Amino acid sequence: MPKHIFRLLLLILGVVVVAVIAPQFLTVDSFYRFGHYRANSVPEIAAKEPVLQTARYCQDCHTERHAQWSASNHKSVTCEVCHGAALGHPQNGKLPIPKDAAKLCTLCHEAMPGRPRTQPQIQVAQHSGGQQCTVCHNPHSPKIAAALVKVAGNDTAGKQKAADCAACHGETGISPNDTWPNLAGQNAAYLVRILAAYKSGDQKDVAMTPLAQALSDADIQNLATYYAGLNCKGAASGKAAGDAAAGKVLAKNCVACHGETGIGSNPAWPQLAGQQPGYLVNVLKAFKAGLRKDPMMAGISRGLSDTDIANLAAYYAAQNCQSTK
């Protein structure tokens, strides 16, 4: 081998050896352990307040919803999946609530081969009938309330028991006082659910709580069956103080659960059409003040002014009710 070739190869070998060995003497142990970062940069970054606020931060303000979420099958679906990154929240505004929840739900629940059996699989187009998933499912606790309420009462027994309720709710379920609700034609599943809530103390009312606590489970079933079977025509005898036309505009935000005219598709939720306006005002104000508990209604009512509440009550009171039987 010519000497100049040998010397060139020896030089190249020397450069390679130096390139391999030199970094071990010239850099700290943590160099490139975390990629293109200088030493100690990762602990510094980890110590900073994160820009993306995770569910751990959400529970500070949204205690009730966080408790529901963390106890449900959705606890692996973090808040930002639906609401996006919490940039500037809550100082700079509210997080968005998805308008098309079905698009999010189908990411896990649209029937497809190979998906885990732990995720309920459905044909969304056939299952929902075009409705948004949130009509029946609370996204923070996705159980269908109506599915948990079985109504199999006795009309005759319910009518006898209803004599104790006539003073406030009328002999035929139409209240003589517009601050008390009409019960005629109301969804039986809702009546069972709300009476059970008064009985257990989940909902509180000075008049209703002691009355409900005196009812047996059979009494609740019978009352719900009786009132659901009554004709609701002639309801909403009270005079509404709000603007029904303005209320109709606001009611677009309520359509997913309560329908366009106050008649929803989920029997576990109340029909609002033809309901007493004074009662609707009182209930919305109670939700807004936190005196009445419901995670979905609490958030919705919080953004309503007293004028908005009066207008919504006027709109729903003016609608034609629909008996459930």
Q: What is the Cα–Cα distance from 216 to 99, expressed in whole angstroms? A: 41
Q: What is the Cα–Cα distance from 272 to 299, expressed in whole angstroms? A: 19
Q: What is the mean pLDDT of each run of 10 residues along the chain (325 residues)?
A: 85 88 66 58 70 70 80 81 73 69 80 74 68 70 58 92 94 92 94 92 90 95 95 70 93 85 86 94 94 81 93 94 70
Within 13 A of 281's CA, how many CA atoms are on the CB side? 21
Residue partners of 238: CB distance under 8 A and separation at least 6: 177, 178, 179, 276, 277, 278, 279, 317
Strand-pair partners of 110: 122
Place of tokens 């004028």: 307
Domain boundaries, the chain: 155-317
Cis peptide before 113 (omega within 30 of 0): no
Sign of the Cα pseudo-torsion (152, 216, 284, 65, in order)? negative
Place of tokens 């940069």: 41
CA 212 to chain centre: 26
Sign of the Cα pseudo-torsion (22, 27, 31, 36, in order)? negative
Sign of the Cα pseudo-torsion (235, 239, 241, 244, in order)? positive
185 closest CA partner among 171, 170, 174, 195: 174
Place of tokens 């390139």: 19
Q: What is the Cα–Cα distance from 74 to 70, expressed in whole angstroms? A: 7
Place of tokens 């450069």: 15
Superfamily of domain 155-317: Cytochrome c-like domain (1.10.760.10)
pTM above 0.85, yes or no: no
Let me know the angle formed at the C-alpha of 178 by 259 and 308, rounded to the nearest 5 degrees: 50
Q: What is the Cα–Cα distance from 23 to 36, expressed in whole angstroms? A: 15
